[in-house]
Amino acid sequence: MRSSAWFVASCALILCTLRMIGGAKGQRQCSETDYYYEYTECDSTGSRWRVAIPQKTGACTGLPDPVRGTECTFSCEAGEFLEMSAQECTQCAAGSYSLGSGIRFDQWDSMPAGFSSLATSLENGPRGDDRLTCNSSSWVPQGNYLESNRDECTVSLIYAVHLKKQGSVSFDYQYPDNNLLFEFFIQNDQCQEMDQSTDTKWLKLTNHGEWATHTVNLKSGTNILYWRTGGVLMGTKVVKPVLLKNVQIEGVAYTSECFPCKPGMFSRVPGSSMCEPCPRDTYSGHGASSCTPCNTSTQYAAEGSAACKDRPPCSKKDYFQFHTACDHEGKTQVIYRWIEPKICLEGVTGAETLPPSGEREPCPPCNPGFYNNDTATCSPCPPGTYSDGMKPCKQCPASTEPTLGYEYKWWNILPSNMKTSCFNVGNSKCDSMNGWEVAGDHIQSGTGSSDNDYLILNIHVPGFKLPTSMSSHSGTEFGRITFEFETVCTADCELYFMMDVNRKSTTVVESWERSKTRQTYTHIMTKNASVSYTWAFQRTNQPSDIRRYVNDVARIYSISVSNAVDGVSSGCRACALSTQPSSSTCVPCPPGHYIETRTSQCTECPPNTYLVSHTTPGPDACKPCGPGSKSDKDHTRCYSDCHFTHTEGNTTLTFDFSLLGSVGSLMNGPSFTSKGTKYFHHFNISLCGEQGQLAVCRDNVTDLSIADSQREKGEGANAVKTFICQSTIIPASGRGFHTALSSQSINLADTFLGATVDDTLNGIRARPELYPQTSKKVPDVNFYFRSLEATSSCESGRSAVVTLRCNPEKSTKGELSVPSQCPAGTCDGCTFHFLWESSGACPTCTERDYHRIEGACKGGHQDLLYVWTEPKLCMGGVTLPEKKTLPCEGMEFWIRLGAGLGAFTAVMLVSLTCYFWKKNKRLEYKYSRLVMSANKECEMPGADSCAVMEGENEGDMEDEVVYTKPSLLGKLKAIASKGNGEKYENVQLNSSHSKALVWS
């Protein structure tokens, strides 16, 4: 900071130089219009100087000398300004205003001085040509407000202010679309971000057409304010821009002038701290202290107008119809009425006249749960009774109880728990009669004051009350809202269905663009809370102040809300009775029990079934779980216990998927939008386990109404807790945001249908052709899921298939992937496909998965080893048996045994050879003797025998030899006879003479 002495010396030098220059040129003396006053920076003693600054350098001479200024802590009150020449606070004149120690920006015909709009260049996309696409993106002044960009570029609105003391900044905004991110943060003069809590940095969503106010405290010194927006555009949907107005900053020490009232505003008395809008049919210019009336016979002006407009001829767009309330005769009629305020002229050329009222007709029936007892209005049935709307109320029979809720299908008058309104985009509310209009069998959107107005219909449900028999159930649906609607449009109309839970944050549940045929939509409420359901219809998203598309309309034919705590009864529901014989009081059933209609007793659902609470009582209320699944103990849902068994032929495979972990995550991409914004899809998958192990996805920028601890648990309007969920992640780099952004969390699977190796289940088809094929023997296991929430593009809700594949090369946790052909996880937007490859997805090991290897026998011992069959396609289960060592006979023993047997065989062969050789010699000898004897003594035939020659031994003489050529059979018999102890061979000779020698 400069010291005052140095500053005075510098000023004196400047003044002397100017006087010398002026004297040399003969310049004129400065008047009060040639300069203005400013204070110097405060020095260390808290002092400052007032100096005169020329409007144009060198235009005149003789500027006033610097004088000591007021104390640095000096400030003026609201409605006053600091008159610098006298250094005193002075009241603002009529037609102007002052905040005293603050400044306000409420006129946006052009960008006010000090504000700048800066677009951040996008990160390069895959083609590298997206660097310059955001040059045309900026905040745009629209008269009463600033409008942000509608594209995905990141654009910052910047304003720098120096505060003399602690202050604050407040502003009004509209932020209806979470496809556009909106943050507000503050930096100091060193470009360091100030400490801010999350709820002051990220702005909460607002209802369509409504303005919210945001206030943040500021520190003394320089504060640089940033309003930053950036789109998250995943399709062709047109986003709603952020609107900003009435920026007010407190904490400046003073204002040296008053701000004139903008056109359409005025301040009638001096010392005003704000200006008022001119009443209807009046106008005002810049800095007005009063408003000028219009010529109402030919002109009109809306509230806060800067000029009068000519009244147009009346047309069909200037009136609407409605049904009168039923009179005492039960009659109603259609009446036409001019839209207020009426701005058209009737008695001119081409003007339409107001149609006459229709004929009186019988009133439509009362809605279910109401009755008409000869009065002009329908009254709700007393507690414990019911009615279909056309008959008197009746008492519910024994063993039943009345159902509670709303069911509106006749629209003679607007129900008491419903409200209708109209919000103009740039201003405040329009006339409530221009919101939604009853039309007998439906209710339809009204005319509005302009085409881009939001026409609002709201119904508030203070809470839900389950039927007595279901009151003890937890984790089930508490109620559901169902409505039938259609839209008929020629422009870019859109119908929004929104929900505000516990009056914290409004979120869009579903929306429909352009014309839609008559259809039904259902939303399930999964927790007991106060909720407001809102329908908002907008004919066009483009700025408009006229009614061009008045014939574009949205119609709602029926609305029903079940289990509403303040509802009426349209029927009776069976309930369970107490076991006491004399009791006829309905009692709650334990969780997972249905009502047996024959006995009126609570009966537990069979194993592995889940109870559907909104169905009729009886056994059919228990639905069987799918294959590979089981029900929780309360029979509220089915889940997988991480175990799966598959049998094919004689082989049974058992899987234990608990090795994969409780929740798996996948971030695919990156992907790029049409302008190059990088984004990722982040999926959380809970494959198996009960409700406490579900996956959680949450938005970190728009769900600010709950504590961080609740957000971590998956609580809050924008948090999703289910089996499979998806979030859109935008990285911090390249977008100007200070952290990675998570938004657009959606539910992909809240119901587990079953696990099977088949490719189809309950109409959902797995697509194995999307993944690389595998030739392994272990089949893929498909987990099938479905979401019960219907969307505009998926009438049956979204579905998902998680394919588990055994891959021993992966870790136990494994790796998730999506098909390469569908990088977003889905090819049609409704069915999502995931592949989870892991060694933990392999079946449990059994004895057939390993084999035995026998080692060599060494030292009389042999090792038996057990190894896994390769490739190993199993996990866990049995373990390999330990190595075994067994005694064995070595090779030397068998060699010795073989040598011994060989020697014995050789000896036997030699002995047999010698024996048969000797035998052969004896036979040869005998043969030779016979031959010799035959030649000598028996040369001539006739003798019957041959005598034994003298000298032959007795044994030889006893031999009677008859010789024939021996046969093989004879040889064998001979060998056998030797074993019987015979010493001699007898060979029978065949002859016709018993004692003759026969040769053959």
Give the count of beta carbons closer than 10 Å to the beta carbon of residue 568.
26
Residue 405 lies in a domain: yes
- Report d(CA 988, CA 994) in Å as an integer: 10
Map 547-587 to HEC letters: CCCCCCEEEEEEEEEECECCCECCCEEECEECCCCCCCCEE
Q: Could you give the strand order of the β-sheet that contains 781-786, starting from the edge strand earlier in sequence? A: 751-756, 781-786, 799-806, 831-838, 815-817
Q: In CATH, what number is assigned to the domain containing residue 793? A: 2.70.130.10
**Same domain flag for 693 and 820:** yes
Q: What angle do CA 151, 157, 163 make, to 5 degrees?
A: 165
Alpha carbon 11 to its chain's center:
66
905 within domain boundaries: no
Residue 558 and residue 411 in contact, taking contact as beta carbons nearer than 8 Å: no
Question: Same domain, yes or no, for 438 and 546?
Answer: yes
Q: What is the mean pLDDT of each run of 10 residues along the chain (1000 residues)?
A: 41 44 59 80 76 81 81 78 82 90 84 86 47 74 86 86 86 86 82 68 80 89 87 64 90 80 91 91 93 93 89 86 79 85 87 88 88 79 89 86 90 88 69 73 85 89 86 74 94 90 79 91 86 92 77 94 91 83 76 84 89 80 90 86 89 89 84 73 85 76 47 55 86 61 82 92 91 84 88 83 92 90 86 92 91 81 87 88 80 72 88 86 83 65 45 45 49 52 45 38
In angstroms, rounded to a whole number, what is the distance separating the alpha carbons of residues 164 and 255? 12
For 848, the token pair is 């057939």
Q: Residue 524 belongs to what H/E stretch?
A: strand 516-525
pLDDT of residue 890: 59
Residues 6+ apart with CB under 8 A from 109: 141, 143
Q: Which residues pair with 221 in a beta bridge?
A: 163
Q: Do the beta carbons of residue 437 and residue 321 sit within 8 Å?
A: yes
Any domain includes 516: yes
Within-domain flag for 869: yes
Domain with 602, as residue range(s), is: 581-639
Whether 516 and 665 share a structural domain: no
The count of domains in the chain is 5
Report CA 97 to chain centroid distance, whole Å: 50
Instruction: Say if residue 143 is in the same domain as residue 169.
Output: yes
pTM for the model: 0.71
Question: In the numeric block, which tokens belong to residue 693?
Answer: 């192990």
Q: Residue 623: which CATH number?
A: 2.10.50
Distance between CA atoms of 97 and 266, rounded to whole angstroms? 9
Examine the domain organization and report whether 753 and 857 are in the same domain: no
Residue 41 lies in a domain: no
pLDDT value at residue 190: 67
pLDDT at 979: 47
Examine the domain organization and report whether 682 and 797 are in the same domain: yes
Q: How many CB atoms lie within 10 A of CB 14?
A: 12
CB 579 within 8 A of CB 589: no
Phi–psi pair at 660, nearest 5 degrees? -75, -15
Residue 411, domain member (yes or no): yes
Looking at the fold, whether 632 and 692 belong to one and the same domain comes out as no
Q: Pick from 226, 252, 278: which residue ends a domain?
A: 252
Last residue of a domain, one of 545, 571, 597: 571
Find out whether 631 and 610 touch, Cβ atoms under 8 Å: yes
Of 614, 639, 664, which residue is a domain's last?
639
- pLDDT of 5 reads 40
CA distance 438 to 408: 12
509 in the same domain as 467: yes
Q: Which amino acid is at 962?
A: V
490 and 633 together in one domain: no
What CATH number did the domain enclosing 142 receive? 2.60.120.200
Residue 249: strand, helix, or coil: strand
Q: How far is CA 906 from CA 155, 541, 898, in A?
A: 109, 115, 12
Residue-level pLDDT at 104: 85
CATH classification of the domain holding 418:
2.60.120.430
Rounded to 5 degrees, φ, ψ at 900 are: -65, -45
Among 460, 480, 485, 461, smallest CA distance to 537 is for: 485
Same domain (yes/no): 680, 555: no
> What phi-psi label fits residue 443: left (phi over 0), alpha (psi between -120 and 50 degrees) or beta?
beta
800 with 735, same domain?
A: yes
Position 812 in a domain: yes
Q: 688 and 796 share a domain?
A: yes
Residue 937 lies in a domain: no
Hey, which residues does 419 pair with through a beta bridge?
A: 458
